[in-house]
Structure 1
Amino acid sequence: MGKKSTNFIASLPVRKRVAIALWKLATNSGYRSIGHLFDVSKSLVCWCVQDFCKAVCTLLAPEIVHFLDREKFKDVADYFENRWGLPQCIGAIDGSHIPIIAPREYYTDYFNRKGWHAIILQGVVDGKGLFWSVNVGKPGSLCDWVGQGGMYPVCTKDICGVNVGYYVLGDSAYPLQNWHLKSFPDNDRLTPEQQTYNKKTSRAWVIVENAFGRLKGRWRCLMKRNDSDIKLDKSMVLTCCALHNLCESHGEDFHQDWNTSLEEPVLVIAAQDIEEECSEIHQAVVRHLNV
């Protein structure tokens, strides 16, 4: 992010350029207001934000927001089992709509069901609330989700007579897969075993809701519409996810008055037909949690 000074003007120090970008991400103030605050031009504020997000997405994000390797999968699964009693679970998944200005091209694709333009952020977090998979940029009109299946290492464990591989947890709106488990829909006819399963899996799944709440609480640019183009919006979202992991892993204090009320989750198209293998894995975990 460093720039060279010229004979006509001194370059802005990197520390100040970073401070300008962080202020934008944390407050979502307008470029003009930030320019007055830091005594720089509006255009320079925009350049600082662009350069900072580009640097984070290029250098920092690949290091701290990345798909886990085989050893990390085992560590995450062990943590989930020790804390919530869920064997083979490697994460919790959820999605959120991020407000944007309507793009010039294909703007109708980004108009979501709530009546505003948005891009979709889908994230998977580990048991500590750190993002290890982030997908951002799908148009807000879509109800589908970005699957992660087939990418996990093959490592099965016998659970109540069924070989269960690694899986992630989602809410009842997501489709059931052999690598993705969800709670039973609450139709007032659940068995005691199903109710126990729902209680224990929901208690673990809430970690991703908390992660989204803390993410948006720290970085307000995700809460309100940005006066940026869609390419920069995507870069800002990924940057905020990387900074979230950085803050959480270093134990930065989170003040409760930063908490935000989360919007309703992204709806997805549930699968109509559940494969027999998925049902067997689902039922095996149900039995395990009721032992």
Structure 2
Amino acid sequence: MAGEQALFLFFMRQMFFFFVMRMYMRRRALGRRRIGRRRDRYHEIQRAAVFAAIAIAQAGQVDRAVRDRDETRTTAWWDTVVFHPAFDDKEWYRRFRMTRATFLRICDELEPRLVRTTTRLRTPIPVRKRVAVAIYWLASGDLFRTVADLFGLSTASVCNLVHDFCQVVVETLLPRYISWPKGEALRQTVNGYEQRWAFPQCAGAVDGTHIEVKAPSEGHTDYFNRKGYHSVVLQAVVDFCYRFTDINVGWPGCVHDARILRNSLPYRCAERGTLFPPEMTRVINGVPVPVMILGDPAYPLLPWLMKGYADNGHLSRRKTNFNFRLSSARMTVECAFGRLKGRWRCLAKSLDVDISKVPNIVSACCVLHNILEMNREEFDQAWFMPDEEVPQAPVVHGEARTHAVRDALADLFAAEDL
């Protein structure tokens, strides 16, 4: 009996020892597996980080290789243009339509908005190069790809640089360089028209021109104009020095000039009586003649907007003489459009950009045009692009008082020509 109890106790001790050892070994195995999984995860993270670093490095090397290849082939041109004396001022002017001094002044004015910070991944494009890329494209109208090859950039970069530049010019420089004449500036404009074009009480000339665009994906029929292509309209008021004093751009090509005028800022100011000061009204042949702007037959005859007599083929000499004087003075706006499109060739061909970008591009060209005209920079007459305008249906409208003003001016011109 005693032997059986001893054997039982021995067996129980062995079973307990086996159970404890089994638990110990299982816990140890679990610990090893846990450590292994942690080690595996750590190695996976390490491998992923290494692969990511290699991919970034390879991408950077490929990108740098492409840029280096392009810059080796093309950036030398830009370096020559900017720094090398062999690239003379005449060649610079031919490519950028402005002097170096004006170009640098524009760079200085736009630098706070165009400068970009340097990062660990990339050194930003310098401001002067950004401005040069945009102005070169505006002046040449070349494909983005062609400009990219010249400056050692990608096509997408050139596209972004052009649109960024135009946006900044519109936001920063347009209010400064395109403004309605007031005070002394208005008096100088009126005197300028009278001295240069022999037309008194004139503060500008208004007209519209079509900027050809690619057909938009939506509403393309609205942009199809009477000339037979898709366009947006630039309506502008110009002073006697071919400078824009007001622009309205973006209306579809099928819209009549008179409708665009009714939706412009000068028209709203005139309706409120704030366009021109009444104290500048001048009595001519017994008739009070206010300050006015000149328009073609497409516009209505208004107290502040003068147009010629309707040509029915039987005009008197007095009326024909008046129409000639008015047409001569009104040619300032036609010349301004010709000089605008001559300088900025992108406007003389179809703008192959999204329709939403067109107003900024056209407005930026108008601002740059004013800057060059204010600085009296040379304009090569070989650049001139005459605007072949198709006459629109005349608008018959006018008060008796306005007709009296026109008749008084016609009498004045007839007396001067005697």
- Tell me if both proteins adopt one fold, taking TM over 0.5 as the criterion: yes
Aligned to 2:31: none
CA distance in 2, matches of 1:176, 1:231: 33
Matching of residues 47-126 of structure 1 within 5 Å: 47-126=160-239
What amino acid maps onto 1:51 in structure 2? D
What amino acid maps onto 2:244 in structure 1? F
Q: Deviations over 1:217-270 (max 9, x none)?
A: 000111111121122111010111111111111121111211223221563651
CA distance in 2, matches of 1:84, 1:139: 33
Runs of 4+ residues over 4 Å off in structure 1? none
Higher RCO structure, 1 or 2 (CA under 8 Å, sep 6+): 1
Q: Deviations over 1:20-63 (max 9, x none)?
A: 00011111111111111111011110111111101110111110
The structure whose Rg is larger is 2
Matching of residues 223-238 of structure 1 within 5 Å: 223-238=348-363
Residues 53 and 236, structure 1, Cα contact 8 Å, conserved in 2: yes
Match for residue 163 of structure 1 among 288, 303, 309: 288
Aligned to 1:206: 331
Q: Deviations over 1:74-102 (max 9, x none)?
A: 22111111222222100011110101122
* Matched residue SS, 2:260: coil
> Does residue 175 of structure 1 match 2:290?
no
Residues 53 and 235, structure 1, Cα contact 8 Å, conserved in 2: yes
Aligned to 2:401: 277
What amino acid maps onto 2:128 in structure 1? R
CA distance in 1, matches of 2:376, 2:195: 21
Q: Deviations over 1:186-227 (max 9, x none)?
A: 333111111221222211111111111111000011111112
Match for residue 152 of structure 1 among 276, 282, 285: 276
CA distance in 2, matches of 1:31, 1:86: 45
Higher mean alpha-carbon deviation, 226-235 vs 121-130, is at 226-235
* Matched residue SS, 1:124: strand
TM-aligned CA deviation for residue 153 of structure 1: 2.6
CA distance in 2, matches of 1:115, 1:83: 36
Residues 88 and 165, structure 1, Cα contact 8 Å, conserved in 2: yes
Residues 95 and 266, structure 1, Cα contact 8 Å, conserved in 2: no
* Matched residue SS, 2:133: helix
What amino acid maps onto 2:157 in structure 1? L
CA distance in 1, matches of 2:184, 2:121: 54
TM-aligned CA deviation for residue 163 of structure 1: 1.2
- Alpha-carbon distance change, 248 to 156 in structure 1, aligned in 2, over 3 angstroms: same
TM-aligned CA deviation for residue 126 of structure 1: 0.7
What amino acid maps onto 1:275 in structure 2? E
Higher mean alpha-carbon deviation, 161-170 vs 10-19, is at 161-170
Higher mean alpha-carbon deviation, 166-175 vs 8-17, is at 166-175
* Structure 2 unpaired stretches of 5+: 1-113
TM-score (normalised: structure 1):
0.95
CA distance in 2, matches of 1:23, 1:53: 13
TM-aligned CA deviation for residue 106 of structure 1: 2.3
TM-score (normalised: structure 2):
0.67
Match for residue 6 of structure 1 among 119, 129, 132: 119
Aligned to 2:316: 191
Match for residue 138 of structure 2 among 13, 21, 25: 25
* Matched residue SS, 1:145: helix
TM-aligned CA deviation for residue 64 of structure 1: 0.8
* Structure 1 unpaired stretches of 5+: none
Alignment RMSD: 1.6
What amino acid maps onto 2:411 in structure 1? R
Residues 96 and 263, structure 1, Cα contact 8 Å, conserved in 2: no
- Alpha-carbon distance change, 265 to 18 in structure 1, aligned in 2, over 3 angstroms: farther
Write 1 or 2 for the structure with the bigger share of helix: 2
CA distance in 2, matches of 1:140, 1:82: 36
Aligned length: 290
